[in-house]
Structure 1
Amino acid sequence: MNTVTIVIETLTTGTGFNIFYQNMGQLFYLFTKKPGKYLEVRNKQIPDNVTVVEVDTTNEKTVYTKIKDLGLKPSAIFSLSDGFVEIACRVACNFGCVANDPELIALCRNKQALRDRLQKMGVKTPEHYLLPAKLTDTYKNYPYIVKPNSGTGSMGVLIAHDFAELKQCHACLKPQHSEILIEEFLLGPLISNEVFVSEGKVLDLGLTSRVLSDFPYFVEEGYSFPMDIGPNKDEVFQTSKQILEKLGYQHGPVHIEYILTAKGPVLVEINPRLAGGPIGNMLLYCLQENIYQSICQEYLTGKRATKFNLQAGHGMAVVSVFATEEGILAGLELNLAKKYPGVVKIEVLKVISDKLTLAHDYSGEVLRVYAIGKTSEEAYYRALAAKNAVKIQLK
């Protein structure tokens, strides 16, 4: 282990520790403000190549000082968690490590500023406005999406069908968020384009379908990869490629979301990181190349990615399972679900005695059913069928 890689927070939704398991020959330090938020830490299942360091990861200076105090000489510094990518880039720049421009990352995380920039570039995005502190009944084209301007993980994303609901959304979000965005409600399914940028070269990984929960929330409850949308597929990737090239994006995975409207794809947001949820596992299964090894190689300035290829006949889908009522988790009955055709994994995200919440955001997710098939559609039907056999016991 000749290199030291610092990961400033990773994903908490099941795939975050893949970066460590898929690179066992490297030495990692996981910097985290709350070690207990990771299931692997709570279950004492930390890989041998990982040292967990508790530090305030929301403070750039504190992270920098901790690295110095530990006497580390990092070869790479990055984050897989949306809220920490910018800080990781700034710290990486301070140590001379490979990194994207921190100001570009800040732009990507500011939904209003990013969309303003994209619209000037001629890119189709939803119409949007920042809500004023005091609302007036001047909005006419209901329904609207209401969300934090810098939110992530479907947290706080709501729908307002009229002014009364808009006021309710505003009152709900205002205590936690200084800027609240209202945007045009677009008709069409949500998809994402997973791409990887290596020294400025934009490489296509594929498209992911994303199934959302019932209104008023927008929790992602199902995924399948790779998705085939016919002629629009190339249009989506070319849009992603041109945008990232014009913005000057240089390194690592990017997750770009689109709504497939009747008039064509409309870009919703750009996330400067690997997609969250189970998508990392799906890429790991469906691509010939190892996405997690590619991430490390990119930031370690080692072997560069040149192309990603899909495995023929490999489709994967994941369906999330949420509690239908709040309570304390007492047990799970999974034996029948595991016997369904194509089911390869049931990933449990909670432990006994955890408090379960409803499907208002990803934090209420109890488990995921993974299924494979010759196509992503076949895999999705299999996962959906097996989901019905899961039983959650509460106390």
Structure 2
Amino acid sequence: MDRVILHCDLNCFYASVELLSRPDLREIPTAVCGDPSSRHGIILAKNEPAKRYGVQTAETIWQAKKKCPGLVLLPPHHGLYHQYSRKVNAIYDQYTDLVEPFGIDESWLDVTHTLHLFGGDAGGLADTLRERMKEELGLTLSVGVSFNKVFAKLGSDYKKPDATTVISRENWQSIVWPLPVGDLLYVGGAARKLLRQYGVETIGQLAACRREMLETLMGKMGAQLYEYANGLDREAVRSRAEADVVKSVGNGTTFPQNLTTREEVRRGIAVLADSVASRLRRLGLYAGGVQVTVRDPAFHDRSRQRQFAAPTHLIRDLTESAMALTAELWQPPAPIRALTVTAIHLSPEDAAYEQVDLFNAGALPKKEKQEKLEAAMDRIRGRFGADAIAFGASRPGHREEDPLP
């Protein structure tokens, strides 16, 4: 028996929540954006009038204002968005216990075993949800209905705002295959560019590719996209009650001014590595590798990653490796707008210790000393606050041997 899955996507969520208290702006191009003075000046959400001017999420404020000089800008209120997200999910919970959020404003609902309680018509249930959102919360919703998660997501994107799209066994090829390949879940810019080189620009063209060819080109992701394009997705909707597996732990920041010197970059990386290491220890996890992403003032990102000789959750290990990776991506005085440090290939504490014992036993005394030092830092912060103590490399004016060439 096919599953019955709904994908519910709140339209222009941040902007819609803001306009609940500013109804005078509903027909005026309006966007929610970060604070330009702290250099987080990008568009976070926009309303329908702004969308008609071509304003896009994640573009800079100056780009948006160039398209729409009269654009009204509002600051974000993230606490308010989370309040409304909880109210929305409370409505979803009345129809199924299988509700899987996909960000703050999107969720999959598996109603396979509860649909009969609400009339048995999945499209009708989607319409009911849309009406309830408008009447009870003042928000609009687009809903995709299908037999798998990928096509349900395509359905919610297919027609906006405030619409229901049913992608069934009978019509899915006629709806899905003509769509641009970039509409498919997880097909980003790099994948689109690669596929375009082989003449693949629609989902139907992707579906017609040999699975082996896609796997050769893109690894496991290629095989997964083949299944998605051919309607073979079988992934189950996971309840919010299920704990998510932590696959990476990262932290990034946009700096108040561009970084142009080695010392500035060293301090920035050390602060980020400190945050990542602390979170790893709280979660009882070790990193098998680290990734660094460097963003320049033109919003171009470059990334590198490397494996550790042995799993770690120590600030010093993350900092040294992250700085070495940065040296592969950047040379002063080229400006850096933002940095991200991410711990990858995570493993639980017991597995990590086993690997250290087997492969890096000579480093244990030094590691144990550093473990005790950073554990003590965690205890001090737990008692006196996060700013009570900092790792030496993150202090202004701190100098050590420079690993950058």
TM-score (norm 2): 0.25
* Greater fraction of residues in helix: 2
Structure number with higher relative contact order (C-alpha < 8 Å, ≥ 6 residues apart): 1
Higher Cα radius of gyration: 2
TM-score (norm 1): 0.25
